[in-house]
A = this chain, B = another copy of it.
Amino acid sequence: MAQNRENGHGSGRIPVGILGATGAVGQRFISLLADHPWFEVTAVAASERSAGKRYEEAVNWVIPGEIPPGVTDLIVTDTDDIDALGDVRMLFSALPSSAARELEPALAARGYIVCTNASALRMDPDVPLLIPEINADHVGLIDAQRERRGWPGLIVASPNCAVTAVIFPLRALHDAFGLTQTHVVTMQAISGAGYPGVSSFDIFDNVIPYIGGEESKFEGEPHKMLGTLVDGQIRLADFVASAQVNRVPVIDGHLAALSVGLKREASVAEVEEVLAAFQPPAIARELPSAPRTPMILRTEPDRPQLRRDRDAEKGMAVSVGRVQPCPVLGIKLVAMVHNTLRGAAGGAILNAELLAAAGYIQDYSVQPTAVSQA
């Protein structure tokens, strides 16, 4: 029955739904999926207050561009009303963490493939914390997840947006030299707080050295992502981590000052070589939303910069630079990411593409090699 459902062509696209569709990240999902070759947004769910309205009426559209034509007239359903989601196969979740904790497992239990941006389940041992270029093999954890939970569906999670900035260089350095310590100080954009998010009266002409619950994520998520999948379990990577986070008056982009201790001492030149040579696994390179260069090494003395580098590769590349010796830990550098593209909606879409390419979406087959670079 699936033979006439070839991906990437009209009605053959995989129908997907957005949870938390009216929020800022929900809007990013809808914007990025507007002309997606594999996925088509056919369901939008939000809070009870929005349910029943046309999407265009329910949303206060705050991101660049206009609402894609195919979505304006979709009727928003209540996120709690699972039955209303219809026949979508995959769900992108931009739910608040508290709602996600209850709802996402219920959705997986109903057979949905859930690609979540919420933090609720990230550290659950059987939920892959996934970035295709970093740990595509962690999809192998899904078998254990389904077996243990008895789900016909599944859940994969994206990491914290600021963790995304550092996990790329950490992956490269861990593989090449072995990490012993990581010390991160972030400068994070206001869009990371969602909408309405941060009061302008709080953040104008200011730096706020605090984001609730954010620092601890650097002490767990990287260890899971850089861990190894052994016998259906992630063996966590072993290094000590510390983080201090700051909100800065910038619209988009998270920048991290990163110092690392390495098992094997490395010069600046060696580190730069390793960063420049970073290559994701083959399956991650041919996904529609994959950047050609997922980690861009800048060698100018004053780059990367948030405004000038956040949109590199349509916001899907992490940029690194300013590699220097760190007298205290060994090596220091700067890493940055577009927090709502690669760091949120774009990252979750890339995860979904990986699942599709890996055959997790029954009745649909996708053809990565036939798809041109996004």
User: Which residues of A approach B to under 8 Å, CB–CB?
Assistant: 24, 62, 64-65, 181-183, 185, 187, 190-191, 195-210, 212, 215, 219, 240-242, 244, 246, 248-251, 253, 255, 257, 259, 261, 301-308, 311, 321-322, 324, 326-329, 332, 334
Contacts and interface: CB of A to CB of B under 8 A. Distances in A.
Contacts of A187: 187, 207, 246, 248
A327 B216 CA distance: 11
A242 B255 contact: no
A328 B329 contact: yes
Contacts of A191: 201
**Which of A204, A322, A334 has the most chain B CB atoms inside 10 A of its CB?**
A204
Closest 9 CB pairs of A and B: A196-B199, A210-B302, A185-B185, A206-B307, A200-B200, A242-B328, A244-B257, A185-B257, A209-B334
B259 A183 contact: yes
Contact of A328 (B181, B209, B212): B181
Contact of A209 (B244, B250, B302): B302
Given A183-B329, A248-B249, A62 B206 contact: no
Contact of A200 (B182, B185, B199, B311): B199
10 contacts: A182-B328, A183-B329, A185-B185, A190-B204, A205-B205, A205-B306, A206-B308, A208-B305, A209-B322, A242-B326
Given A208-B305, A250-B205, A190 B200 contact: yes
Contacts of A215: 324
Nearest to A300: B210
**Which of A187, A196, A242, A261 has the most chain B CB atoms inside 10 A of its CB?**
A242
B210 A328 contact: no
**Which of A64, A246, A250 has the most chain B CB atoms inside 10 A of its CB?**
A246
